[in-house]
Copies of this chain bind each other. A is one copy, B any other.
Amino acid sequence: MAQATIGNSEFDRDTTVTRRAPGTGSAAESGAPSAAVTATFDADLSARWSILKALNGGYLLAVLGRALGDTLPHPDPFSITAHYLTASQPGPAVIRTETVRAGRTLSTGQASLVQFDDDGAEVERIRVLATYGHLDALPNDVRTAATPPAMPPYEHCLGADDAPDGEVPLNDSSEIVDRFDMRLDPATAGWAIGQPSGVGDMRAWFGLADGRDPDPLSLLLAVDALPPTAFDLGLSGWVPTVELTAHVRRRPAPGRLRVAITTRNLAGGFLEEDVQVWDSADQLVAQARQLARVKLG
């Protein structure tokens, strides 16, 4: 199979958003607020990006990020925040976007993803607020004290195929496993055999299974692609994201990413996941943090 390319890959196909012609599908027709709507998009959320019974939050963020990129005068999400309201379902979805401010260097937009229940009633799934810019227009100065995560080479890390049968959530019916070329640092994979480190870390090599190289949009997927750090804390169960904010700092170089996540503070049934994404050129390309609820299984 030939390596997929940016623009022609399963990630690109499954995040497709189709802009409606102005005046069609407007909010007035759907019962939603009208004056603020500047564009309406149709999407078809693919079950291929499901983890257990839910659609992956990073996949959904990429769909919304793409609609915002098509709305705003700047292409790249510099800072994007999503609040996950209700569980998205595979199938049709409508995304409404609004240009909040269009500036010279940066523009800010808002997006809302909605689906319709069996009675045709609209249910909002996700609300997003983001500021976009042009990564390629930035000066080339980098002055960082951050260092790439210390982890073994890809060949010495663990893929879904390495897991004992039926032991690993990653290796169950979740279709998303087949979308990813992901290998966990063995130091953060002990939970899969009942030996979590207790530290709250998760590190992995991350790529798309069809070989598509990373771009700013797929970084939005990468920041929410790994197993929950709660597993490394020895917790099991569901850890739904309340809010996730991602900063895309550089355009990633081709090749696999390294994703490192840390959780330092579990309190009151919530925890944060702090994410760094590094590219093959040792550039810190994205930073993200999410607040998640710990729902013990």
Contacts and interface: CB of A to CB of B under 8 A. Distances in A.
Interface of A: 27, 32-36, 78-79, 81, 83, 85-86, 100-101, 106, 108, 110, 124, 127-131, 135, 138-146, 199-200, 233, 242-243, 245, 247, 249-250, 264-270, 272, 283-284, 287, 289, 291
Contacts of A131: 83, 242-243, 291
Contacts of A265: 142, 144-146, 249, 284, 287
B140 A124 contact: no
Given A86-B101, A129-B81, A272-B287, A267 B250 contact: yes
Contacts of A85: 100-101, 108
A284 B267 CA distance: 9
Nearest to A36: B33
A128 B110 CA distance: 10
Contacts of A33: 33-36
A233 B281 CA distance: 24
A199 B249 CA distance: 20
Select the residue from A83, A140, A250, A264 with max chain B CB neighbours within 10 A. Answer: A83
Given A124-B100, A131-B242, A145-B199, A270 B287 contact: no
A139 B289 contact: no
Given A129-B129, A272-B247, A143 B79 contact: no
26 contacts: A32-B35, A32-B36, A33-B33, A35-B35, A36-B36, A79-B242, A83-B100, A83-B108, A83-B130, A100-B124, A101-B124, A108-B127, A110-B110, A131-B291, A138-B270, A141-B266, A141-B268, A142-B266, A143-B266, A144-B265, A145-B200, A243-B245, A247-B272, A247-B289, A250-B268, A289-B289
In order of increasing CB-CB distance, the 4 nearest A-B pairs are A138-B268, A33-B36, A33-B35, A79-B243
Nearest to A140: B268
Contacts of A138: 267-270
